[in-house]
């Protein structure tokens, strides 16, 4: 017995080490059971307090992100309310003025279908003849021109977008009013070509392109896009200008349909004089 | 003596807080996990009685276990290096022995000595910790890789952090 105690005493370092390791393993094994020792996990007073302080500090650092997240959530919810309860205004806005005659009337509608990747692209609007839409009306968004109404049913209308081989809208450079038809070549929905621009026009990249009153459909001065590049093609005496369209055709949602009040009068006059001169 | 006790207690608290509040939030992937708190055991003065080293290691291990929810694993690994430290110090001892009153840091022992000393101890700690954590051998090489990478990571961290306690010790 004395020898044993002696032995233990001489090797106390090793035995204390062994004892501590055994304690560690006991804790480890005990903690694997159902009743984990509550003293040694992060739910005890000290570590819980430290973590609480840490979380508080972190919360302050993340306030900005949190605010942004809340703001986003708010906008999202507000949008939901608006969509849910506000009726889409389908009224026509008319102004009676004795000095100025109203040439164009605007109606708002919503694109419920659209495409950009076909050769001839169409949009469908949720307003139709019942709301006063007829053929050959112009369609724009707040960003730029979209297209021309082609067919109308009672509550819907079909719109040829300017991304269509048959749509030629007369457009002009805002700077010097050189005009020409805007024709889409079918490649990229973000660009279209403004053709027949005289070579004396001084074009710069970034110049604004707007609609011209020559089209007879669009009011003058509606934004079309910006000059991306221009070239004189072989055997042509005009410039072809590549225009970056300002309207994003992938995100068309709310649109305005434009009614030209004197369209019939203008068309019949133009046709009449043509017929007369042909005679 | 009392001074020493206070200094080491402060170091204990600072390192535990550093580990729990800052290092725990550094995420470098699942292969590099840093445990710079072992610096506490590394920096215990040379003349600390070996049993005190053992108990101090056990205690800091338990404290870290409390925060990491690892129940005894850190304590086991720390007790192991507390035990091994005695023999490693003996092995690395210069011919004339250690000067009393010194602590094993870069300033007093030089970088080469400190790198050998801390690398061995950190490696033992991580070896023990990661294998105890996984507690089986069927991810042997992945765990080994984790041990090696984490050892390198912790070592770099420790080497930098020990300069934090540098000035205080020089001023004594």
Pair (A30, A54) in one structural domain: no
pLDDT surpassing 80 at residue A131? yes
Least CA distance to B61: which residue of chain A? A24
Pair (A14, A66) in one structural domain: no
Judging contacts by C-beta atoms under 8 Å, the chain A residues touching residue B37 are none
Using pLDDT thresholds of 50, 70 and 90, give the confidence band for residue A112: confident
Domain CATH for B156 = 1.10.1760
Q: Which one has a higher pLDDT value, A177 or A83?
A: A177
Report how far residue A5's alpha carbon sits from residue A11's, in angstroms, rounded to the nearest whole number: 10
Using pLDDT thresholds of 50, 70 and 90, give the confidence band for residue A42: low
pLDDT surpassing 80 at residue A30? no
Is A185:A195 a contact under the CB 8 Å cutoff?
no
> What's the total number of domains in chain A?
3
CB neighbours of residue A224 within 10 Å: 26
Pair (A233, A175) in one structural domain: yes
pLDDT surpassing 90 at residue B122? yes
Is B104:B89 a contact under the CB 8 Å cutoff?
yes
Range of the domain at A55: 41-86
What is chain A's length? 279
Assess if residue A70 is contained within a domain. yes
Judging contacts by C-beta atoms under 8 Å, the chain B residues touching residue A20 are 54-55, 58, 75, 79
pLDDT tens for residues A142-172? 888 999 998 888 888 888 899 888 888 889 9
Assess if residue A277 is contained within a domain. no
- Average pLDDT over every residue of B72-79: 89
Look at B83 and A37 and tell me if their CB atoms are within 8 Å: no
Pair (A7, A58) in one structural domain: no
Judging contacts by C-beta atoms under 8 Å, the chain A residues touching residue B66 are 39-42, 44, 46-47
pLDDT above 70 covers a percentage of chain A that reads 84
Look at A31 and B66 and tell me if their CB atoms are within 8 Å: no
> What's the total number of domains in chain B?
1
Assess if residue A175 is contained within a domain. yes
For residue A222, give Cα distances in angstroms to A136, A172, A245, A254, B149.
17, 10, 12, 16, 64
Range of the domain at B107: 2-170
Closest to A208 in 3D by CA, of A193, A192, A221: A221
pLDDT above 90 covers a percentage of chain B that reads 22
Domain CATH for A210 = 2.40.10.350
Report how far residue A48's alpha carbon sits from residue A175's, in angstroms, rounded to the nearest whole number: 70
Pair (A178, A243) in one structural domain: yes
What's the confidence (pLDDT) of residue B80?
Answer: 92
- Average pLDDT over every residue of B13-33: 84
pLDDT tens for residues A222-257? 889 999 998 888 888 888 899 999 988 888 888 888
B84–chain A Cβ distance below 8 A for any pair: no
What's the confidence (pLDDT) of residue A105?
Answer: 78
Look at B71 and A40 and tell me if their CB atoms are within 8 Å: yes
What's the confidence (pLDDT) of residue A78?
Answer: 65
Assess if residue A102 is contained within a domain. no
Q: Which of A86, A118, A151 is the last residue of a domain?
A: A86
What's the confidence (pLDDT) of residue A86?
Answer: 45
Assess if residue A184 is contained within a domain. yes
Assess if residue A267 is contained within a domain. no
Q: Which one has a higher pLDDT value, A33 or A42?
A: A42
Pair (A199, A225) in one structural domain: yes
Look at B20 and A41 and tell me if their CB atoms are within 8 Å: no
What ipTM was estimated for this complex? 0.82
- Reading the block at residue B111, the tokens are 């970088």
Average pLDDT, chain B: 84
What's the confidence (pLDDT) of residue B163?
Answer: 80
pLDDT surpassing 70 at residue B47? yes
Using pLDDT thresholds of 50, 70 and 90, give the confidence band for residue A90: low
- Average pLDDT over every residue of B51-62: 91
Pair (A193, A175) in one structural domain: yes
pLDDT surpassing 70 at residue A81? no
Judging contacts by C-beta atoms under 8 Å, the chain A residues touching residue B22 are none
C-alpha distance from B35 to closest chain A C-alpha (Å): 17
- Reading the block at residue B150, the tokens are 């984490």
Distance of CA A255 to the CA centre of its chain: 13
Question: Helix or strand or coil: residue A169?
Answer: strand
What's the confidence (pLDDT) of residue A35?
Answer: 47
Is A170:A180 a contact under the CB 8 Å cutoff?
yes
């Amino acid at each position: 017995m004395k020898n044993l105690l002696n032995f233990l005493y001489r090797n106390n370092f090793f035995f204390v080490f062994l004892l501590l390791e055994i304690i560690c393993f006991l804790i480890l094994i005990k903690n694997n059971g159902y009743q984990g020792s509550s003293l040694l996990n992060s739910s005890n007073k000290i570590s819980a307090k430290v973590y609480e302080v840490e979380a508080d500090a972190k919360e302050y650092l993340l306030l900005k992100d949190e605010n942004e997240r809340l703001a986003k959530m708010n906008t999202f919810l507000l949008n939901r309310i608006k969509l849910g309860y506000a009726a889409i205004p389908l009224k026509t806005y008319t102004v009676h003025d004795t000095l100025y005659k109203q040439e164009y009337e605007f109606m708002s509608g919503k694109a419920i279908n659209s495409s950009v990747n076909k050769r001839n692209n169409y949009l469908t609007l949720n307003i139709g003849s019942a709301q006063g839409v007829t053929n050959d009306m112009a369609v724009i968004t707040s960003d730029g021109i979209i297209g021309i109404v082609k067919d109308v049913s009672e509550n819907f209308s079909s719109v040829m977008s300017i991304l269509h081989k048959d749509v030629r809208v007369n457009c002009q450079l805002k700077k010097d009013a050189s005009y020409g038809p805007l024709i889409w070549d079918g490649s990229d929905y973000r660009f279209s070509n403004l053709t027949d621009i005289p070579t004396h026009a001084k074009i710069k990249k970034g110049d604004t392109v707007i609609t011209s009153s020559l089209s007879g459909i669009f009011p003058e001065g509606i934004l079309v896009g910006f000059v991306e590049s221009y070239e004189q093609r072989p055997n042509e005496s005009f410039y072809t200008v590549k225009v970056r369209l300002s309207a994003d055709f992938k995100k068309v949602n709310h649109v305005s349909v434009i009614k030209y009040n004197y369209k019939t009068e203008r068309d019949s006059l133009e046709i009449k004089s043509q017929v007369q001169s042909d005679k | 003596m009392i001074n020493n006790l206070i200094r080491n207690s402060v170091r204990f608290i600072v390192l535990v807080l550093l580990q729990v509040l800052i290092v725990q939030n550094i995420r470098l992937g699942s292969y590099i996990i840093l445990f710079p708190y072992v610096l506490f055991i590394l920096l215990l003065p040379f003349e600390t009685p070996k049993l005190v080293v053992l108990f101090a290691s056990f205690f800091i291990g338990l404290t870290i276990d409390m925060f990491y929810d690892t129940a005894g694993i850190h304590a086991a690994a720390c007790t192991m290096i507390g035990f091994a430290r005695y023999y490693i110090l003996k092995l690395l001892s210069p011919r004339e022995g250690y000067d009393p009153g010194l602590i094993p840091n870069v300033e007093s022992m030089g970088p080469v000595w400190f790198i050998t000393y801390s690398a061995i101890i950190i490696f033992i700690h991580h070896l023990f910790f990661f294998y105890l954590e996984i507690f089986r051998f069927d991810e042997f090489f992945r765990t080994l890789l984790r041990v090696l990478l984490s050892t390198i990571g912790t070592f770099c961290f420790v080497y930098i952090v020990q300069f934090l306690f540098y000035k205080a010790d020089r001023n004594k």
